[in-house]
Amino acid sequence: MMIQKKTLKALALAALVSASGGLGLVGCAQTKYKGTDEAASGQASAWVRINQLGYTPSGIKVAVWVSKGQEKLRRFELVDASTDKVVFKGEAGEAFGAYGPFTESYRLNFTSFTAPGTYYIKAGGATSPVFRVAADVYEGTADFTLRYMRQQRSGFNPYLKDSCHVHDGYTMYGPMPDSTLIDVSGGWHDASDYLQYSTTSANATYHLLAAYRDFPDVFGDDHQDNGLEGSNGVADVLDEAKWGLTWLTKMHPREDWLFNQLADDRDHQGLRLPTKDDVDYGMGPGKARPVYFVTGEPQGLGKYKNRATGAASTAGKFASAFALGAQIYSGKDEALADLYSKKAQSAYKLGLAKPGVAQTAPNRAPYFYEEDNWVDDMQLGAAALHQLTGDQTYFTQAYTYGLQEKVTPWMGADTARHYQWYPFHNFGHYELAKKADEAKKAELLGFYKEGIERVYAKAKKNAFYRGVPFIWCSNNLTTSFAIQSYLYRTLSGDETYAELEQANIDWLFGANPWGTSMVFGLPDHGDTPEDPHSALTFLHQMPLDGGLVDGPVYGSIYKNLIGIKLEQPDEYAAFQSDLVVYHDDFGDYSTNEPTMDGTASLIYLLAAKEHSAREGAQAKK
């Protein structure tokens, strides 16, 4: 049984706001405004897309007007939702023309309006959903998104209050005999299936650790280290990061052992809760799953194989997560700090010994994470080790790696293979620039700027400022691009791309062709995913609070994917196009499946936004 959709039009929501005195911040989605009732009946031909979280008083504030008609837009009005009085009038500005299903589009900029309150926009016969302008629109969002990370835990799962995959795993491709049992239980399930990857887990762990390091003020302490409710004197984000670090230590149990993957696509044999996983990987139903040793050579136990060439892509990610973990636990837990320091150095040595990529292993299907770059991983690992140890050798190596890949290759490209250029932004330039002299700092920030410019060259041609390609997991790229833009802006002081940065955040929360947030349950008063590709929601109506879904894909990609069949009529049919599609439907695993690593990146981004909003509000006092 699918979760039933609910709709709530803007005027009804305005009445709710007036009656309740304000909008709720975060929580499981309760009321929806799909905006497609009018589209389906032919009563509307224009829409105003907004960031449903709202806008900060001192921040950039832009909505997007789109139309299927030929009319031009000259001006728009901002209306106080509590009084229905116009409080701001603005010029529509440049006509961007056709995009996706629309024939005309405009960016509606009301950044100069700074008064807190609850509003809606009227433009060209269209009315936006109600939204807030307030300093606290991002308050609690990072902690809310952590809910999904806890729900993804393998081993003991605090959401289900039960354990799963406790028999993992048995080795393949290693120096030990195949099928040797080894304890690699724990970690996070990668997405709505139950595979687990070192690459995505280490990247997620780094983002969580960096969020705690950079924005400790925004996180609460409402959960214990096992994920159950209750304070333990440690920020919840650090508890979650430690869960990742603990699993990574199991996947790098000895100086010369490194594992890349737990389970494979034999997982895809039907819907079940992780605690009811009875897939047989050759050890019996529900027993041990295979854990793949990093060999630096192609792997795949079935029909398909990857194109692995080395170990550095995985080893560098391990090194960066462990090195940052050692920095953070220094002074908190010296035994852990020492352990993570040793793990960081041994993982980095493995990367030096085997340059190249360690891609994930397919089995029955041709899909795998096709990572083709690795110097960015080694750069970040070396930069983190330099910060940890002060050894200038690491700085020199990190800088040399950085010169080999100045710009993450997907930036400016129209397409890429699945996870071909991963992580989707290079934290290494930023971490190195913080410790560099002025000349090298400017050079490293210049690499960030070049990547941003490549995206901006495409983005400035459409009203959504969309320059990120619509490949699988496009929302992950969008989040990473916003993070890179933030890192560049904060370290350089250059505000040139601030509107582009915000446009990517706005896209994730509703300023997109479909008018929907891409994060389950966030905000609680808006249109957010309800039918993600997940057994938890499909079978048991369990919310995936905080989960960032994959996001829109090119129509050409969607049409050629295997095994996609929509379970319900498409409520966004009016907004699909040959260019790009998104479906809030269980059957579309390409656009509506949440991912653990994308969500972890989003936690960093939302923490940055919450922290910045607090600083802005404090500065006004």
- Are residues 203 and 112 located together in one domain of the fold? no
Residue 117 contacts residue 14 (beta carbons within 8 Å): no
- Are residues 82 and 191 located together in one domain of the fold? no
**Can you tell me the distance from the alpha carbon of 147 to that of 401, in angstroms, rounded to the nearest whole number?**
36
Residue 621: what pLDDT?
67
Domain end call among 133, 161, 185: 133
Residue 505 contacts residue 54 (beta carbons within 8 Å): no
**Can you tell me the distance from the alpha carbon of 409 to that of 451, in angstroms, rounded to the nearest whole number?**
8
For 181, counting Cβ atoms within 10 Å of its Cβ (0-12 exposed, 13-18 middle, 19+ buried), the class is: middle
Q: Which residue has the higher pLDDT, 105 or 12?
A: 105
pLDDT tens for 132-176 read 999 999 999 999 999 999 999 999 999 999 999 999 999 999 999
Q: How far is CA 396 from CA 94, 370, 392, 426, in A?
A: 47, 29, 6, 17
Domain end call among 107, 133, 159: 133
pLDDT tens for 25-69 read 233 322 334 444 444 435 789 999 999 999 999 999 999 999 999
For 464, counting Cβ atoms within 10 Å of its Cβ (0-12 exposed, 13-18 middle, 19+ buried), the class is: buried
Kind and range of the H or E run holding 432:
helix 427-433
> What percent of the chain stands above pLDDT 70?
93
pLDDT tens for 229-270 read 999 999 999 999 999 999 999 999 999 999 999 999 999 988
Whether 7 has a pLDDT exceeding 50, the answer reads: no
pLDDT tens for 353-394 read 999 999 999 999 888 999 999 999 999 999 999 999 999 999
Which pair of tokens denotes residue 206? Answer: 């780094």
- Are residues 96 and 229 located together in one domain of the fold? no
Domain annotation covers residue 96: yes
pLDDT band at 564 (very low <50, low <70, confident <90, very high): confident
- Are residues 98 and 154 located together in one domain of the fold? no
Q: What are phi and psi of 473, to 5 degrees?
A: 70, 40
Domain annotation covers residue 368: yes
Q: Which amino acid is at 502?
A: Q
For 564, counting Cβ atoms within 10 Å of its Cβ (0-12 exposed, 13-18 middle, 19+ buried), the class is: middle
Whether 124 has a pLDDT exceeding 70, the answer reads: yes
Residue 480 contacts residue 601 (beta carbons within 8 Å): yes
- Are residues 299 and 170 located together in one domain of the fold? yes
Strands (E), 162-204: 162-164, 170-172, 196-197
- Are residues 189 and 99 located together in one domain of the fold? no
- Are residues 166 and 304 located together in one domain of the fold? yes
Which pair of tokens denotes residue 437? Answer: 């002299």
Among 132-146, 192-206, 427-441, 550-564, whose mean pLDDT is lowest?
Answer: 550-564
Domain annotation covers residue 8: no
Residue 223: what pLDDT?
98
Tally helices (H) and strands (E) across the chain: 16, 16
**Structural domains counted in the chain:** 2
**Can you tell me the distance from the alpha carbon of 381 to that of 388, in angstroms, rounded to the nearest whole number?**
11
Residue 548 contacts residue 483 (beta carbons within 8 Å): no
Residue 323: closest CA among 371, 252, 234: 252
3-state SS assignment for residue 119: strand
**Can you tell me the distance from the alpha carbon of 289 to that of 285, in angstroms, rounded to the nearest whole number?**
10
- Write the DSSP string, 249-260: HHHS-STT--EE
**Can you tell me the distance from the alpha carbon of 410 to that of 372, in angstroms, rounded to the nearest whole number?**
11
**Can you tell me the distance from the alpha carbon of 267 to that of 368, in angstroms, rounded to the nearest whole number?**
13
Task: Find the CATH number of the domain harbouring 183.
Answer: 1.50.10.10
**Can you tell me the distance from the alpha carbon of 349 to that of 610, in angstroms, rounded to the nearest whole number?**
37
For 560, counting Cβ atoms within 10 Å of its Cβ (0-12 exposed, 13-18 middle, 19+ buried), the class is: exposed
- Write the DSSP string, 446-511: HHHHHHHHHHHHHHTTSTT---S---TTHHHHHHHHHHHHHHHHHHH---TTHHHHHHHHHHHBT-
Kind and range of the H or E run holding 49:
strand 46-49
Backbone dihedral region for residue 284 (phi beyond 0: left; psi -120 to 50: alpha; all else: beta): left
- Are residues 305 and 207 located together in one domain of the fold? yes
Task: Find the CATH number of the domain harbouring 98.
Answer: 2.60.40.10
Residue 392: what pLDDT?
97
pLDDT tens for 387-429 read 999 999 999 999 999 999 999 999 999 999 999 999 999 999 9
Domain annotation covers residue 379: yes
**Can you tell me the distance from the alpha carbon of 427 to that of 433, in angstroms, rounded to the nearest whole number?**
10
Which pair of tokens denotes residue 619? Answer: 């500065």
* Cβ within 8 Å of residue 428, ≥6 positions away: 320, 376, 379, 380, 382, 383, 398, 401, 402
Residue 413: what pLDDT?
95
Which structural domain, as residue segments, surrounds residue 258?
141-524+592-619
Domain annotation covers residue 208: yes
Pairing relation of β-strands 290-293 and 580-581?
unpaired
Residue 19: what pLDDT?
26
pTM: 0.93
- Are residues 415 and 274 located together in one domain of the fold? yes
Whether 282 has a pLDDT exceeding 70, the answer reads: yes
> What percent of the chain stands above pLDDT 90?
89
- Are residues 307 and 439 located together in one domain of the fold? yes
pLDDT tens for 481-537 read 999 999 999 999 999 999 999 999 999 999 999 999 999 999 998 899 999 999 999
**Can you tell me the distance from the alpha carbon of 274 to that of 193, in angstroms, rounded to the nearest whole number?**
9
Domain end call among 110, 133, 156: 133
**Can you tell me the distance from the alpha carbon of 263 to that of 569, in angstroms, rounded to the nearest whole number?**
34
Q: Where are the alpha helices (DSSP H) in 330-404?
A: 334-353, 375-389, 392-404
Domain annotation covers residue 28: no
- Are residues 92 and 207 located together in one domain of the fold? no
- Are residues 465 and 388 located together in one domain of the fold? yes
Alpha-carbon torsion, ordered 455, 457, 461, 463, to 10 deg: 40
pLDDT band at 616 (very low <50, low <70, confident <90, very high): confident
Domain annotation covers residue 27: no
Domain annotation covers residue 25: no
